[in-house]
Amino acid sequence: AQSVSQHNHHVILSEAASLELGCNYSYGGTVNLFWYVQYPGQHLQLLLKYFSGDPLVKGIKGFEAEFIKSKFSFNLRKPSVQWSDTAEYFCAVNAGDMRFGAGTRLTVKP
């Protein structure tokens, strides 16, 4: 069965630091890839998605992610985080069946 691994459970950064959250999946076929964000007390919202084409996808709020097929990875990046980016981030893979990673909690200190 496909699975999704997020390497970091909790990341703490200062404002303006760069961010990279890892995501790896274990499915060899065609996949759709997603990053969702959950702000404190809120529901999950789509941050960005990869379907096909350019492996570097840009999402909302300055986030981007790169699909590296050979590494089965879809890492999330942001050059300069803000306090308002404090949230939990979930990677998800859809290969007919949507699977979510365990999530990475990001805390940005002002």
Q: Which residues bind other proteins (CB under 8 A)?
A: 6, 9, 32, 34, 36, 42-46, 49, 51, 90, 92, 94, 98, 100-103
Q: How far is the CB of 101 from other proteins (least distance, A)?
A: 6
Which residue, 17 or 22, is less far from other proteins as judged by CB?
Answer: 22
Which residue, 43 or 110, is less far from other proteins as judged by CB?
Answer: 43
Residue among 28, 108, 91, 85 at smallest CA distance from 57: 91
Which residue, 72 or 100, is less far from other proteins as judged by CB?
Answer: 100
Residue among 53, 12, 52, 58 at smallest CA distance from 32: 52
Question: What is the C-alpha to C-alpha distance for residues 3 and 1, in angstroms, rounded to an integer?
Answer: 6
Question: What is the C-alpha to C-alpha distance for residues 31 and 102, in angstroms, rounded to an integer?
Answer: 19
Question: What is the C-alpha to C-alpha distance for residues 57 and 49, in angstroms, rounded to an integer?
Answer: 7
Q: How far is the CB of 45 from other proteins (least distance, A)?
A: 7
Q: How far is the CB of 16 from other proteins (least distance, A)?
A: 29
